[in-house]
A and B are shown apart, each in its own frame.
Chain A
């Protein structure tokens, strides 16, 4: 009987630990940082890295990173569960604040006003890669190709993500929106592979996601979705579409506290993130491993970014999601 009771108690305790997530909590003032995307994604990885360094840079704040995939659904839950001054942070990006907010606002039970901006975790420049057989090396080659092409196929990660809108904005502003066919894949890696084997003509992806295909000479990298050329790394010198007046935006990951959180606490959190992101080791790791940039921002920059992406979404929504 005693054994049975022990078994039952053990099961209850283990289940309780699992349900409440109390296993492994750190001591001190602990801020949970929720990443609403896949645990193997870039944002989650950088968040884990920042969390692991938080105790080195602060005696008062310990960051604990968690990833609960679910995008808007996870952020909805976070907004409902947290109030001002709760020790909890969440990531949002242009995908939610600009794309979902424009295309499917019913999915979001929150708005920008529900958050207090803390810091931008990183900045990533998307690139357009082409099937190597097409021999398209730069924007001029691309313009020549577009002028001749009846159909342009572009592999993207998801049907209505940032990559789809960047492709729509670029080819749409080249007056080739009608010829554009977006082919959605389940992941960025799949999209990169599709262009390598010639299933599509182009792919839009983060730089790191196309690097291996580029190294194997399966693709050429045509241009970057940025104002100027890429400055360093394996794609240094690749032209930015901004140089030609085409629309663009970078991928960013905003760390947010709940609206109304004490300003001094927000400033303290921002200072901690700034210190972590200024660490040379972090800067090198971000760049060497994922080709990301440290890009600390202010509230005004965030609002500009959100507005810019929203403009692009509104302008090219018909190409991405035709009636």
Chain B
């Protein structure tokens, strides 16, 4: 490795690369901050720009978009209670309440610092442990992936709000909706009602727009004019994060980074799963559980560090095995291939300098994201002071434009509207929307891996207990369920004691 570091640094530290990193970071942060405009869409749009570049500046530009997109999604989640990208949904749970408490800048800064830490952590994991970790990840088969999904489903308990039953019902609804489209194991259509477009399934970004963004607008329409205006003049938002808060941030940030790396290396998973896993675990381990969902600094840090820690981790299977860790990285593979580079371990021997330049570049990208983020935070924070009569139509326009741009089809705009109606009805029934999102995120993956595992084992459930990795995940599931039950019992006892006094 060391013999490549010096020449790789020479290739990386050029004015051209620094410039492209910064352009990428800026585009990624702004693009992802707009609801519906996902990171993957941004990378697709700007991919042709890289075709005229050589491999390193091309990859630096795309990595800039990718990493800053991870952070950018949190901006709208914090400011307007609408995640800019699906993986920022967990950030929204605490980011927006903290913003409403008059601490918008602090919330944005926590998201930025946690994102940077997660990004650099995963870049270092890629640099030092890449090939070893990739070989381990390659051993995780269908049964292990199913266990990861089951572990993910335990998060529902943590995001169900007051009633776990309602949360489970909402999650089941999400799982049911995720079944729409062609059956992954047979290709037969399911729940398509003769609508051709539905056999592709529903795009998560489109559902998100309806579930969170549009319904937020509808609920604002229900409020009285006086309730709509936030008196920003009275807020002294200096963006200060106290020493005590910094101390509290350390644990969830490190935990989130670890979870992000572990989730990111498993192909097929992504930043959404990582941020939910991390959020749930941080909540379970926190001494301030009661603050989660009400503006917890730990909640923001856990979600943001995890979703940015995925960025470097998804590159591990890509660069070492040629397997893209997620959809965005799969697009980035094109930027390498157009330059004649076919990723894999052999490329470390033949083009080691370029590979190490890309890996080192990821650290640089995160550092520039931090610098740009610090400069942009005061500007982003001003969004909350825009009057609602101006902000609301802008959000609506971007929501529709975002839904359309996912597949360049008006059908998706209709889907977003349907989800808006669904979310509004559920809101009236006091059902939490987040478990629906979780069901949507994990549904197809859970079902596919479950059915494929049973197909491989001729229907025998023994396959789920067949490897040491399966048992590790079973242990984690038991631990998660145990922690949840313990928490619920504690809450019940505390409530009973309160009633007595």
Chain A residues close to B by CB (< 8 Å): 4, 7-8, 11-12, 14-15, 18-19, 21, 23-24, 38-40, 44-45, 48-49, 51-52, 65, 67-73, 76-77, 103-104, 107, 109, 153, 158-160, 181, 183-186, 189-190, 193-194, 196-197, 199-200, 208, 211-212, 215-216, 285, 288-290, 321
Contacts of B334 in A (CB 8 A): 39-40, 44-45, 48
Q: List, sorted by A's number, 20 A–B pairs whose CB atoms are closer than 8 Å.
A: A11-B394, A18-B401, A18-B404, A40-B324, A40-B327, A45-B337, A68-B409, A69-B200, A70-B200, A70-B407, A70-B409, A73-B196, A104-B187, A159-B186, A183-B455, A184-B184, A189-B323, A189-B324, A190-B267, A212-B343
Q: Whose C-beta in chain A lies nearest to the C-beta of B452?
A: A183
Given A48-B338, A70-B407, residue A153 in contact with residue B345 (CB < 8 A): no
Other-chain contact of B344, A69, A72, A211 (Cβ < 8 Å)? A211
B345 touches A194 (CB 8 A): no
Q: Would you list which residues of chain B between 341 and 387 have a CB under 8 Å from chain A?
A: 341-346, 386-387
Q: Are A39 and B405 interface neighbours, CB within 8 A?
A: no
Q: Which B residues from 174 to 203 make CB contacts under 8 A with A?
A: 183-187, 196-197, 199-200
Identify which of A7, A39, A285 gathers the most chain B CB atoms within 10 Å of its CB.
Answer: A39
Task: Give 3 closest A-B pairs by Cβ, nearest first.
Answer: A212-B344, A15-B401, A40-B330
B220 within 8 A of A: no
> A residues within 8 A CB of B337?
45, 289-290
B404 touches A67 (CB 8 A): no
Contact with A along B401-423 (1 / 0, CB 8 A): 11011011100000000000000
The complex places the Cα of A199 from the Cα of B139 at a distance, in Å, of 10
Q: Is B17 an interface residue (CB 8 A)?
A: no
Chain A residue with the shortest CB-CB distance to B347: A212
Q: B342, A208: Cβ atoms under 8 Å?
A: yes
Which of the listed residues A18, A158, A160 has the most CB atoms from chain B within 10 Å of its own CB? A18
B138 on interface, CB distance cutoff 8 Å: yes
Chain B residues whose CB sits within 8 angstroms of the CB of A215 once the complex forms = 344-346
A-side contacts of B331, CB under 8 Å:
39-40
Q: Is there a chain A Cβ closer than 8 Å to B400's Cβ?
A: yes
Measured CA separation A11–B333 after assembly (Å): 32
A189–B346 Cα gap in the complex (Å)? 17
Contact of A186 among B197, B344, B448, B456 (CB under 8 A): B448
**Closest Cβ neighbor of A21 among chain B residues:** B408
**Residue pair A321, B186 in contact (C-beta under 8 Å):** yes
Cβ 8 A contact of A212, one of B45, B197, B321, B386: B321
Q: Which residues of B contact A7 (CB under 8 A)?
A: 386, 390, 394
Interface readout for B312-347 with A: 1 if CB under 8 Å, 0 if not?
A: 000000000111100100110110011011111110
Given A40-B330, A40-B331, A288-B340, are A11 and B397 also a contact pair (CB < 8 Å)?
yes
Given contacts A40-B334, A200-B456, A212-B321, contact A48 B398 (CB under 8 A): no
- Is there an interface contact between B342 and A65, defined as CB atoms closer than 8 Å? no
Where chain A touches its partner, the secondary structure class is helix
- B185–A184 contact, CB under 8 A? yes
Complexed CA–CA distance, A51 and B338 (Å): 13
Report chain A residues within 8 Å CB of B51: 48-49, 52
Indicate whether A159 sits within 8 Å of B187 (C-beta atoms), given known contacts A65-B48, A200-B456, A215-B345.
yes
Measured CB to CB, the closest approach of chain B to A163, in angstroms, equals 13
Q: Are A194 and B141 in contact (CB under 8 A)?
A: yes
Given A181-B455, A183-B452, also A19-B401 (CB < 8 A): yes
Among residues of A, the one whose C-beta sits closest to the C-beta of B399 is A15
Given A48-B338, A65-B48, A107-B196, residue A189 in contact with residue B267 (CB < 8 A)? yes
Which residue on A lies nearest to B44, using beta carbons?
A: A39
Cβ 8 A contact of B405, one of A19, A44, A48, A200? A19
Chain A residue with Cβ nearest B449: A186
The reply to whether A160 and B187 form a contact with Cβ atoms under 8 Å apart is yes
A289 to chain B: which residues have CB within 8 Å?
337, 340-342
Shortest distance between the CB of A126 and any CB in chain B (Å): 18
Q: Measured between alpha carbons, how far is A186 from B326 in the docked complex, in Å?
A: 12
CA gap between A19 and B399 in the complex, in Å: 11
B47 within 8 A of A: yes
Complex-state Cα separation, A194 to B448, whole angstroms: 14
Q: How far is the CA of A206 from the CA of B223 in the complex (A)?
A: 57
A51 to B400, CA, bound (A): 30
Partner among B48, B139, B142, B197 whose Cβ is within 8 Å of the Cβ of A48? B48
Closest to A64 in B: B48
Known contacts: A15-B397, A48-B334, A77-B409. The answer to whether A199 contacts B456 by CB under 8 A is yes
B138 touches A193 (CB 8 A): yes
* CB closest residue in chain B, given A71: B200
Q: How far is the CA of A193 from the CA of B45 in the complex (A)?
A: 30
The contact of B138 among A24, A65, A197, by CB within 8 Å, is A197
A46 to chain B, nearest CB (A): 10
**How many angstroms from the CA of A111 to the CA of B411 in the assembled complex?**
23
Say yes or no for B52: interface residue by CB 8 A criterion: yes
Residues of A within 8 A of B400 (CB): 15, 19
Residue from the list A40, A70, A72 in contact with B333, Cβ < 8 A: A40
Chain A contacts for B44, CB-based, 8 A: 39, 67
B residues less than 8 Å from A196 (CB atoms):
138
A52 CB to closest chain B CB (Å) equals 5
Q: With an 8 A cutoff between CB atoms, is B393 at the interface?
A: yes
Asked if B268 is an interface residue, CB under 8 A from chain A, the answer is yes
Given contacts A11-B394, A211-B322, A290-B337, 5 further A-B contacts (CB under 8 A): A48-B47, A48-B48, A71-B200, A186-B268, A285-B340
Instruction: Please encode chain B, from 294 to 328, with 1 for each CB lying within 8 Å of some chain A CB and 0 for all others.
Output: 00000000000000000000000000011110010
Report how far A197 CA is from B398 CA in the complex, Å: 45
Inter-chain contact B185/A49, CB cutoff 8 Å:
no
Which of chain B's residues have a CB closer than 8 A to the CB of A184?
184-185, 452
Residues on the A chain within 8 Å of B327, using CB: 40
With both beta carbons as reference points, the residue of chain B lying nearest to A12 in the complex is identified as B397
Report the separation of the CA atoms of residues A239 and B80 in the bound assembly, to the nearest whole angstrom. 61
The answer, among A45, A72, A76, A212, for a CB contact under 8 Å with B346, is A212
Contact B407 A15 (CB under 8 A): no
Residue on B with the closest CB to A72?
B196
Instruction: Tell me the complex Cα distance, A215–B407, Å.
Output: 37
Chain A residues with Cβ below 8 Å from B333 are: 40
A52 to B141 alpha-carbon distance, docked (Å):
39
Alpha-carbon distance A288/B52, docked complex (angstroms): 19
**For the complex, what is the distance from the CA of A67 to the CA of B408, rounded to whole Å?**
10
